[in-house]
Structure 1
Amino acid sequence: MSGGVSNVTVENALFWNSRRAVRIKTAAGRGGYVRDITYHNLTFEDVRVGIVIKTDYNEHPNGEFDPRALPVLQDISYSSIHGKGVRVPVRIQGSDDIPVRNVTFRDMSAGTTDKQHIFQCAYVEGRVIGSVYPAPCDNLDLYNEHEQLVKKSTSQNISDIDYSF
């Protein structure tokens, strides 16, 4: 991704027998933004990783890119996500330079197959609303189904830089 992607909705989709279901990948040197992305009513069946956001995808067409061109990832929501046979439901890998901001999960049951299949998060901030299984990352705020704060995260790993446009 270079440039910018915004106002995208992915809904009513089935992903099966796949390594990855939905993925956003970018890296330093790409610049631009990924924002206002909505995923709704997705089903995962026999998927290794259901949701992936990766900010160190270091493939560039050539060596001539500006490593200081950092992409912005924000305002990404996932709702009504269900499935079975999912090894890792969520893997969000932000970084100190490229944090992932304002990610929301609502109504999710990934149907994992054993105890090691958990949310994996780094340098992400956001919230979980209502019921989400398996347990979400510690660095996400927890809200009840009425969107009332239940537990504020104490470990979001993100500086106070304002990345909004």
Structure 2
Amino acid sequence: MNIAGISIGSEMSGGVSNITVENVVVWDSRRGVRIKTAPGRGGYVRQITYRNLTFENVRVGIVMKTDYNEHPDDGYEPTALPILTDISFTTIHGHGVRVPVRIHGSEEIPVKNVSFQDMSVGLTYKKKHIFQCAFVEGRVIGTIFPAPCENLDRYNEHGHLFKRSSSQNVTDIDYDF
């Protein structure tokens, strides 16, 4: 089993931006797509577009993790905080996925301006928190499956806001996977 289909980070102190990942099938993998970083990494991940992805037999489809605390040595600056912003997911499909989305921002490294549109992922089994979020803000455009976490604003298919998120800081992560 592969660890991840497509990964950005964790070592990216200069930054990663203006990337489009499209027309990708990931199968028999622990992670479909992953962005990982941590305090001390610095830099940024911004303006990343994922489009037309298919997940087949994947443990976690989309992962963003801001506490990936593996450093090669102790010579890093712990106050160098990375920025994660402007990340979009459009036309995401698949089956046999345990957790479709796990976005784990933190108070010091929130994930900002994430969007989901045209997503339908078949699940391997039902869990309480199958779309998992913490310290994230963004939006869902149109109907997606499974239901998104409460951290994201809801827009209809025409781009009109109909439900504002009550909190971007809700922690809705279940680590029993």
Report the TM-score when normalising by structure 2. 0.87
Q: Does 1:128 align with 2:140?
A: yes
Which structure 1 residue ranges, 5 or more long, are not aligned? 159-165
Query: Whole-Å Cα distance in 2 between the matches of residues 69 and 145 of structure 1?
Result: 38
Q: How many residues align?
A: 158
Q: Whole-Å Cα distance in 1 between the matches of residues 169 and 134 of structure 2?
A: 7
Give a deviation string over 1:26-55, Cα, whole Å, max 9, x none.
Answer: 000000000000000000000000000000
Tell me the distance in 2 between the aligned counterparts of 1:41 and 1:59. Answer: 31
Structure 2 partner of 1:55: 66
User: Identity of counterpart residues, as a percentage?
Assistant: 72
Structure 1: distance between partners of 2:168 and 2:35? 20
Structure 1 residue 2, shift from structure 2 partner: 1.6
Structure 1 runs (4+) greater than 3 angstroms displaced: none
Question: Does the alignment pair 1:27 with 2:38?
Answer: yes
- The Cα of 1:113 is off from its aligned counterpart by 2.2
> Residue 88 of structure 2 is aligned with which of 73, 77, 83?
77
Question: Residue 144 of structure 1 corresponds to which residue in structure 2?
Answer: 156
Q: Which residue of 2 aligns with 1:162?
A: none
Displacement of 1:62 in angstroms is 0.6
Unaligned stretches of 5+ residues in structure 2: 1-11, 171-177
Structure 1 position 110, deviation (Å): 1.0
Deviation at 1:3, TM superposition (A): 1.3
**How big is the shift at 1:114?**
2.0
Task: Look up the SS of the partner of 1:109 in the other structure.
Answer: strand
- Once the 2 structures are TM-superposed, how far is the Cα of residue 155 of structure 1 from its aligned partner? 1.1
**What amino acid is the match of 2:162?**
V
TM-score (norm 1): 0.94
